[in-house]
């Protein structure tokens, strides 16, 4: 860990669709790298110290909420889990995830897509009895191995990275992606839709 970090050069996509006359463009920012710095930390530094109008999303900063997906040097990934030290030449280009509604700059509406998907495939337990069940008695048994398998699919955080990288999604508006429907899901009544998120990919 050196005391004085190298200068990182960020090329960031800028466009505010709500602003009259604004045009898409790339803007350059420089940040001094700190030990353990992630793209998320660098973006906050840029927003706080250089350009308060820069839009991007985050909630948890720990790779579990799926908010901060963006295209980092050509690859969709989570900003909070990408260390700047990974890029040897210190050049980092950031673009919003394609295939989603652009809110502004790096912020896209993945939530809207996921919610629509959830409504469309009805991603809940289709068992009308669950509301009237007696929860005082022992629960229905599930094989522990099957439960573990199902949970593997549940790990998806709906960040949208895999969706954004999918050419079919970009071409077909009716795109739907339900991995595992023929695998462990057949053992289980739960019909939750699971995208293979970055954490699973």
| Cβ closest to other proteins, residue 95 vs residue 194 | 194
| Cβ closest to other proteins, residue 88 vs residue 136 | 136
CA–CA separation, 111 vs 85, rounded Å? 30
CA–CA separation, 65 vs 59, rounded Å? 7
CA–CA separation, 78 vs 41, rounded Å? 12
- Residue 42 is a binding residue for other proteins (CB under 8 A): no
* Size of site (CB under 8 A) for other proteins: 71
| Cβ closest to other proteins, residue 120 vs residue 172 | 120
Site mask for other proteins (CB under 8 A), range 91-110, x = bound: ------------xx--x-xx
Pick the binder of other proteins from 24, 75, 127, 181 (CB under 8 A): 127
Residue 58: Cβ-neighbour burial (10 angstroms; 0-12, 13-18, 19+):
middle
Cβ neighbour number for residue 16 with a 10 Å cutoff:
16
CA–CA separation, 183 vs 188, rounded Å? 10
Cβ of residue 73: shortest distance to other proteins, in angstroms?
16
Cβ of residue 75: shortest distance to other proteins, in angstroms?
15
Candidate segments 7-15, 23-31, 88-96, 116-124, binder of other proteins by CB under 8 A: 116-124
- Residue 147 is a binding residue for other proteins (CB under 8 A): yes
Cβ of residue 186: shortest distance to other proteins, in angstroms?
15
* Contact residues for 69 (Cβ-Cβ < 8 A; gap 6+): 76, 77, 78, 79, 97, 108, 110, 159, 160, 161, 164, 198
Binding positions for other proteins, 13-32, rule CB under 8 A: 16, 18-19
Token pair 């353990």 in the structure block, residue: 36
Residue 126 tokens read as: 């289709």
- Residue 141 is a binding residue for other proteins (CB under 8 A): yes
Pick the binder of other proteins from 6, 7, 26, 62 (CB under 8 A): 62
Q: Which is it for the CA torsion 88, 89, 91, 94, positive or negative?
A: negative
- Residue 136 is a binding residue for other proteins (CB under 8 A): yes
């Amino acid at each position: 860990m050196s005391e004085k970090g190298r200068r990182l050069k960020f090329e960031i996509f800028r466009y505010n669709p709500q602003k009259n006359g604004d045009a898409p463009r790339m803007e350059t920012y420089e940040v001094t790298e700190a030990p353990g710095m992630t793209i998320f930390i660098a973006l906050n530094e840029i927003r706080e110290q250089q350009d308060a109008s820069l839009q991007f999303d985050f909630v948890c900063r720990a790779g579990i909420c799926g908010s901060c997906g963006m295209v980092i040097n050509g690859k969709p990934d989570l900003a909070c889990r990408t260390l700047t030290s990974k890029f040897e030449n210190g050049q980092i280009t950031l673009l919003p995830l394609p295939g989603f509604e652009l809110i502004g700059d790096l912020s896209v509406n993945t939530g809207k897509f996921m919610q629509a998907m959830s409504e469309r495939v009805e991603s809940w337990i289709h068992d009308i009895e669950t509301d009237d069940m007696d929860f005082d008695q022992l629960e229905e048994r599930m094989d522990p191995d099957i439960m573990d398998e199902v949970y593997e699919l549940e790990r998806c955080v709906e960040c949208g990275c895999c969706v954004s990288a999918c050419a079919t999604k970009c071409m077909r508006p009716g795109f739907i992606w339900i991995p595992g429907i023929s695998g462990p899901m057949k053992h289980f009544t739960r019909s939750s839709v699971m995208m293979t998120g970055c954490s699973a990919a």
